């Protein structure tokens, strides 16, 4: 019996489990390691914060999914990998051995060692911790203890989350008055998106009186102040009552110094089979890994597309197959981004195209619900 260990219930592993449920692998003993029973679908997180969705609607329950796949589920976090010994140490003190390992643990926001950020800012990931701090922030705003919220990060996720928080507080009774600021070190918000999308979102932020500080690099964080530097290296203090940190994707720290090949940014370096370039028995998918030579952003749509390829290749590897028996993964050259704006309205970004309207939100909603529907209601 070969031991397959899946670390993390990310977007690709939920598909691996679904595929192993549809066609069991009797030759394998499968173990899933996840800190939480419910794994978040971040595409719906802004909708959860805005109040459009419930927790259950935007989380996949790993327990029935693992049972469907015949997998054992361990609630823990991987803390260290010994690739030579083929062991994984968990934060509950256990050590797992494996024949085949697959890693899909996502990413956390980039902090770059900025002093005070980890202590004072609310990190958007891990999502479970974020949701607890969001609940505490709601209380602070209700009690009148917080009136100013600053989001650090001007990508799609940062903008969506800011607008979602604003929507939430604007629809509370009594209405909560909160000032919002957004800081980005890029010259504009949504620097990765075409001009039309940027213009739509900038207009939206302006109408909603969000203060946008672009071209500012945060260098220090205290409980009620952010210190940022502008292009001329001048310091600018920004006072605030709450800081929400939604910067790009940082690599997992627990994978450093373990003999596994990492790329220049310390993500797992893998080939087109989603297989480590240094260890054939280790596969990886999603934000924590990068396919060597391919250029694509760290975003959930890529992790989702990797799921079926990863499932196929893990099954082939369990059967002792390699090389051409494995499927190759090629990232799509462009991906559709549907960016929500707080209310039930969204902007579509596709290549140079920018479309917007309530119908775009309904389109996004049906895609998101369709995705989540695949991971519910498994036969006992
Ligand atoms: C607010 C927000 C909105 C976003 N919206 C979109 C969007 O609309 N579309 C899009 O494509 N992308 C979106 N993204 C990006 C998206 O979140 C990530 O690219 C995506 O989640 C990556 O998927 P993943 O499968 O790699 O990891 P994740 O979905 O992050 O899953 C990783 C899982 O591994 C678990 N885990 C972490 N560490 C460990 C460990 N040490 N041991 C065991 N388990 C562990 C986590 O608990 C989690 O369940 C958004 C991001 C944010 C912050």
Contact yes or no for 200/211 (Cβ under 8 A): no
Count how many residues are written for the chain.
Answer: 380
Two tokens, residue 110: 């980039």
Residue 39, domain CATH: 3.50.50.60
Query: DSSP per residue over 285-345, as a string?
Result: -GGGEEETT----S-HHHHHHHHHHHHHHHHHHHTT--GGGSPP----S---EEEEESEEE
Q: Is 287 in the pocket of ligand 1 (CB under 6 A)?
A: yes
With 0-12 / 13-18 / 19 or more C-beta atoms within 10 angstroms meaning exposed / middle / buried, residue 7 is: buried
Q: Is the same domain home to 155 and 283? A: no
pLDDT tens string 224-238: 999 999 999 999 999
Q: Which domain holds residue 327?
A: 2-107+251-333
What's the number of domains the chain is made of?
2
Which three-class secondary structure string do you get for 199-267? Answer: HHHHHHHHHCCCEEEECCEEEEECCCEEEEECCCCCEEEEECCEEEECCCEECCHHHCCCCCCECCCCC
Q: Is the same domain home to 19 and 97? A: yes
User: What is the pLDDT confidence band of residue 344, given thresholds at 50, 70 and 90?
Assistant: very high
Q: Which of 363, 367, 250 lies closest to 304, judged by CA?
A: 367
Query: Look-up: residue for tokens 């989702």?
Result: 304
Query: Pick from 225, 249, 273: which residue ends a domain?
Result: 249
Q: Is the same domain home to 135 and 218? A: yes
Mean pLDDT of 207-214: 97
Q: Is the same domain home to 72 and 191? A: no
Query: Look-up: residue for tokens 């609607």?
Result: 57
Q: Is 184 in the pocket of ligand 1 (CB under 6 A)?
A: no
Query: Pick from 215, 231, 249: which residue ends a domain?
Result: 249
Q: Is 21 in the pocket of ligand 1 (CB under 6 A)?
A: no
- Domain-embedded: residue 196: yes
Q: Is the same domain home to 263 and 198? A: no
pLDDT tens string 250-282: 999 998 878 899 999 999 999 999 999 999 999
- pLDDT for 212: 97
Mean pLDDT of 150-157: 97
Q: Which of 128, 105, 142 lies closest to 7, judged by CA?
A: 105
Percentage, residues of the chain above pLDDT 70: 100
- Domain-embedded: residue 344: no
- pLDDT for 174: 87
Q: Is the same domain home to 259 and 245? A: no
Distance between start and end Cα atoms, the chain: 24
Two tokens, residue 325: 């028996």
- Residue 63 pLDDT more than 80? yes
3-state secondary structure of 66: helix
- Residue 377 pLDDT more than 90? no
Count other Cβ atoms within 10 Å, centred on residue 233: 8
- Domain-embedded: residue 181: yes
- pLDDT for 26: 87
Q: Is the same domain home to 120 and 37? A: no
pLDDT tens string 277-316: 999 999 999 999 999 999 999 999 999 999 999 999 999 9
- pLDDT for 199: 96
Distance CA(360)–CA(152), nearest Å, equals 26
- Closest ligand 1 atom to 41 CA: 29
pLDDT tens string 105-140: 999 999 999 999 999 999 999 999 999 999 999 999
Higher-pLDDT residue of 337, 27: 337
pLDDT tens string 318-334: 999 988 899 999 999 99
- Residue 246 pLDDT more than 90? yes
Q: Mean pLDDT score of the chain, rounded to an integer?
A: 96
Best of 92, 102, 105 to mutate for ligand 1, by most ligand atoms within 8 A of CB?
105
CA 65: distance to chain centroid? 20
User: What is the pLDDT confidence band of residue 173, given thresholds at 50, 70 and 90?
Assistant: confident
Q: Which helix (H) or strand (E) holds 102?
A: strand 100-103
With 0-12 / 13-18 / 19 or more C-beta atoms within 10 angstroms meaning exposed / middle / buried, residue 105 is: buried
Q: Which of 182-196, 248-262, 344-358 has the lowest mean pLDDT?
A: 248-262
Count other Cβ atoms within 10 Å, centred on residue 2: 16
Percentage, residues of the chain above pLDDT 90: 93
Q: Which of 107, 115, 10 lies closest to 65, judged by CA?
A: 10
Q: Is the same domain home to 260 and 243? A: no
User: What is the pLDDT confidence band of residue 27, given thresholds at 50, 70 and 90?
Assistant: confident
Distance CA(28)–CA(248), nearest Å, equals 36
Ligand 1 center to 70 CA (angstroms): 24
- Domain-embedded: residue 375: no
Distance CA(107)–CA(39), nearest Å, equals 14
pLDDT tens string 93-110: 999 999 999 999 999 999
Q: Is 109 in the pocket of ligand 1 (CB under 6 A)?
A: no
Distance CA(37)–CA(2), nearest Å, equals 25
- Residue 345 pLDDT more than 90? yes
- Closest ligand 1 atom to 79 CA: 41
Q: Which of 77, 75, 87 lies closest to 282, judged by CA?
A: 87
Q: Is the same domain home to 67 and 13? A: yes
- Domain-embedded: residue 349: no
User: What is the pLDDT confidence band of residue 249, given thresholds at 50, 70 and 90?
Assistant: very high
- Closest ligand 1 atom to 160 CA: 1
Q: Is the same domain home to 18 and 42? A: yes
Query: Look-up: residue for tokens 């969204």?
Result: 346
Ligand 1 center to 309 CA (angstroms): 18
Ligand 1 center to 143 CA (angstroms): 32
- Domain-embedded: residue 352: no
Q: Which of 248, 255, 253, 254 lies closest to 270, judged by CA?
A: 255
User: What is the pLDDT confidence band of residue 220, given thresholds at 50, 70 and 90?
Assistant: very high
- pLDDT for 39: 98
Query: Pick from 229, 249, 269: which residue ends a domain?
Result: 249
Q: Is 10 in the pocket of ligand 1 (CB under 6 A)?
A: yes
- Closest ligand 1 atom to 33 CA: 43
- pLDDT for 219: 97
- Domain-embedded: residue 11: yes
Residue nearest to atom 30 of ligand 1 (CA): 106
Alpha carbon of 68 to those of 47, 109, 194, 219: distances in Å? Answer: 28, 32, 42, 47
Helix axis angle for 11-22 and 300-318, nearest 10°, is 40
- pLDDT for 96: 98
- Domain-embedded: residue 205: yes
Best of 73, 299, 340, 349 to mutate for ligand 1, by most ligand atoms within 8 A of CB?
299
């Amino acid at each position: 019996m070969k031991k397959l260990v899946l670390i993390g219930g990310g977007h690709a592993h939920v598909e691996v489990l679904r595929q192993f449920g549809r066609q069991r692998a009797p030759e394998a003993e499968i173990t899933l390691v996840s800190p939480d029973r419910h794994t978040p679908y971040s595409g719906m997180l802004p909708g959860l914060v805005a109040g459009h969705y419930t927790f259950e609607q935007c989380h996949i329950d790993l327990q029935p999914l693992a049972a469907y796949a015949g997998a054992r589920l361990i609630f823990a976090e991987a803390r260290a990998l010994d690739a030579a010994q083929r062991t994984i140490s968990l934060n509950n003190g256990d050590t797992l051995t494996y024949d085949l390992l697959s890693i899909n643990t996502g990413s956390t926001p980039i902090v770059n060692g900025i002093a005070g950020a980890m202590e004072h800012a609310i990190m958007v990931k891990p999502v479970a911790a974020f949701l607890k701090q969001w609940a505490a922030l709601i209380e602070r705003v209700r009690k009148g203890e917080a009136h100013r919220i600053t989001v650090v990060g001007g990508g799609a996720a940062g903008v969506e989350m800011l607008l979602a928080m604003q929507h939430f507080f604007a629809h509370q009774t009594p209405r909560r008055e909160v000032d919002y600021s957004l800081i980005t070190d890029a010259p504009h918000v949504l620097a990765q998106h075409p001009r039309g999308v940027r213009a739509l979102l900038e207009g939206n932020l302006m109408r909603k009186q969000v203060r946008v500080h672009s071209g500012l690099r945060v260098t220090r964080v205290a409980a009620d102040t952010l210190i940022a530097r502008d292009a001329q290296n001048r310091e600018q203090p920004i006072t605030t009552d709450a800081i929400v940190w939604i910067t790009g994707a940082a690599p997992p720290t627990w994978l450093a110094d373990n003999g596994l090949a990492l790329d220049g940014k310390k993500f797992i370096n893998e080939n087109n089979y989603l297989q480590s370039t240094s260890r054939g028995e280790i596969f990886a998918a999603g934000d924590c890994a990068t396919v060597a030579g391919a250029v694509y952003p760290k975003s959930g749509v890529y992790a989702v597309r990797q799921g079926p390829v990863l499932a196929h290749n893990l099954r082939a590897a369990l059967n002792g197959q390699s090389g051409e028996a494995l499927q190759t993964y090629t990232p799509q050259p462009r991906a559709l981004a549907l960016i929500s704006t707080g209310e039930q309205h969204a902007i579509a970004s596709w290549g140079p195209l920018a479309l917007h309207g309530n119908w775009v939100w309904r389109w996004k909603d049906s895609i998101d619900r369709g995705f989540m529907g695949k991971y519910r209601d498994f036969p006992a």
